[in-house]
Amino acid sequence: IDEVCFLSFYSFTQKYPPVKFLSEKDRKRILITGGAGFVGSHLTDKLMMDGHEVTVVDNFFTGRKRNVEHWIGHENFELINHDVVEPLYIEVDQIYHLASPASPPNYMYNPIKTLKTNTIGTLNMLGLAKRVGARLLLASTSEVYGDPEMHPQNEDYWGHVNPIGPRACYDEGKRVAETMCYAYMKQEGVEVRVARIFNTFGSRMHMNDGRVVSNFILQALQGEPLTVRPTSCFFFFLPSDLVNGLVSLMNSNISSPVNLGNPEEHTILEFAQLIKSLVVSRSHIQFLPEAQDDPQRRRPDIRKAKMLLGWEPVVPLEEGLNKTIQYFSRELEHQANNQYI
Ligand code: NAD
Ligand code: UDP
């Protein structure tokens, strides 16, 4: 079911989407940092519907209240406007630590803040996990592999990152965040899980996300040229697949990093052509020069996730793209309707 339609259907018929009943023994108190963002809000939906108590902590840098508004007022839900760079004192059983801008324009907007969020923010959340004995899952990234020299990338690859390039605040920030997780695990016995997430797209992505899927869809919908950079291959998958992977990793006994991504291969040009045809757009395709430090190829080796979690992405690409196109059309409409208010 399209999660957006599903949720809007319920907002008309009942006050909240349906929530499973869990006994006190099975119900967990779960903190999601960055829970008002794209991935975090889908994770919030899953954990709320599964019957858990969810606290979302977000500073609304790239996230929005709208992404989780359908839960506001629910007895199992709490939304806290807080920056993870500041300490946080609450009581929880699990922490999904997602707080961090994720797209290059967002994380490059204020590189020092990106570094603080990924380092001090992660340290604070590990400190919290240590104090309350919670398990922490870090939303890490395929960017820790940098511009990789081996294909596909498995979890043993150490990466090829420019430490002083324009992407370093994010790439190195996440690498340090991983290092911190394992230092807290070894030194303090904190239970950690590390998901290395590959590019994901879908509803509730920021309109100005600036990554290729949202760019192409918006360009196609607005009749503007689709701007293709000459990277050879790229891979994407959908938030529903990702969220299932995150939850099963959190509840597994795998403390080492696990890749979550789609190993299906597409060139950027193929993507542009597919989106153009799905939108039935008259936009033409414009080729741009390569961006500095742009990874040329990236492809996850997901054998570990398959073998140990029984996980792999299942939503077909066209289905995901169609839903995302619908989402962006509605967002454009929403913007146009609110422009003159
Ligand atoms: P997003 O920008 O939509 O969500 C990030 C959320 O974190 C936002 O709600 C933002 O307001 C919040 N945030 C940022 N800094 C904060 C701070 N200092 N304190 C509190 N909240 C803060 O991005 P997303 O795509 O949902 O990404 C979520 C996580 O997954 C990020 O950690 C990102 O690095 C990781 N990730 C995402 C992708 C992807 O393709 N979307 C790929 C790899 C990794
Ligand atoms: N911290 C937090 N919430 C807690 C416990 C700790 O935000 O419930 C922060 C704390 O302020 C510190 C960081 O986490 O900045 C690291 O905490 P830890 O206990 O590991 O280190 P210490 O405070 O002993 O240096």
Ligand nearest to the CA of 57: 1
Q: Which helix (H) or strand (E) holds 268?
A: helix 268-279
Highest mean pLDDT among 59-68, 197-206, 287-296: 59-68
Q: Is 82 in the pocket of ligand 2 (CB under 6 A)?
A: no
C-alpha to C-alpha distance for 169 and 335, rounded to whole angstroms? 32
pLDDT at 4 over 60: no
Residue nearest to atom 6 of ligand 2 (CA): 127
In the three-class reduction of DSSP (H, G, I as helix; E, B as strand; rest coil), residue 44 is classed as: helix
Q: Which residues pair with 79 in a beta bridge?
A: 56
Q: Please say whether the beta carbons of 77 and 16 come within 8 A.
A: no
Q: Please say whether the beta carbons of 55 and 78 come within 8 A.
A: yes
**pLDDT band for position 1 (50/70/90)?**
very low
Residue nearest to atom 22 of ligand 1 (CA): 99
Ligand 1 pocket: which of 98, 107, 113, 246 to mutate (most atoms within 8 A of CB): 98
Q: End-to-end alpha-carbon separation of the chain, Å?
A: 33
Q: Please say whether the beta carbons of 54 and 66 come within 8 A.
A: no
Q: Which of 96, 107, 145, 170 is catalytic?
A: 170
**Mean pLDDT, residues 122-131:** 98
**pLDDT band for position 3 (50/70/90)?**
low
CA of 218 relative to ligand 1 center, distance in Å: 21
Instruction: Tell me if residue 170 is catalytic.
Output: yes
CA of 33 relative to ligand 1 center, distance in Å: 9
Residue nearest to atom 13 of ligand 1 (CA): 99
C-alpha to C-alpha distance for 182 and 194, rounded to whole angstroms? 9
Q: Tens digits of per-residue pLDDT, 144-172?
A: 999 999 989 999 999 999 999 999 999 99
| Among 314, 339, 330, 325, CA closest to 8 | 330
C-alpha to C-alpha distance for 126 and 116, rounded to whole angstroms? 14
pLDDT at 339 over 80: no
Q: Is 133 in the pocket of ligand 2 (CB under 6 A)?
A: no
Q: Lowest mean pLDDT of 243-247, 295-299, 306-310, name the range.
A: 295-299
Is-cis flag, bond preceding 148, omega within 30? no
Mean pLDDT of the chain: 91
- The structure's pTM equals 0.92
